[in-house]
Amino acid sequence: MKHSAITENHLYNKVFQRGERFVGKYVTVHVLTDYAAKRRMLAHPQKRFTNRIGLSVTKKIGGAVERNRAKRILRAGLRAVEAETPLKTGKLIVIGARPDIAGKKSTDIRRELSFAFRKLDMLAAANGTGKKQ
């Protein structure tokens, strides 16, 4: 499922301050209920709730090449997790890279993201109704 990106800085700050958090070896995951989800669902062509995803990669990871690679493997890990089990919808999700992510494969990230979403109770039932959960 295609996600919207979090583009406003105040939403990142809100998720970091108020959201539930998981800290792993390679990633941190912050999740907060999206209060604009209903309005966004009504504007969606298929009338579905969606998640808004944000990636946070700091300069501690390395130069531009290393940061872009970290973002690519975060996206690939997220796609792999969603292929296994869909996520609950109507959430703001910020995935941050930690310095140990350098040189890791997307399978390592998928494993950690799957564990993080399980801990944060983000895995949806396999019914696939598309309703807010």
Is the pLDDT assigned to residue 1 strictly greater than 80?
no
Q: How wide is the angle at C-alpha 36 spanned by C-alphas 35 and 38, nearest 5°?
A: 100
Q: Are 6 and 91 in contact (CB under 8 A)?
A: no
**In the prediction, which pLDDT does 50 show?**
81
Give CA–CA dist 31/122, Å, rounded.
9
Phi, psi of 29 (to 5 degrees): -125, 125
Task: Please provide the size of the chain in residues.
Answer: 133
Is the pLDDT assigned to residue 25 strictly greater than 80?
yes
pLDDT, mean of residues 62-87: 93
**In the prediction, which pLDDT does 85 show?**
87
Tokens encoding 12: 């990142």
Is the pLDDT assigned to residue 48 strictly greater than 90?
no
Instruction: Tell me whether strands 91-97 and 4-5 are parallel, antiparallel or unpaired.
Output: unpaired
Give CA–CA dist 98/92, Å, rounded.
20
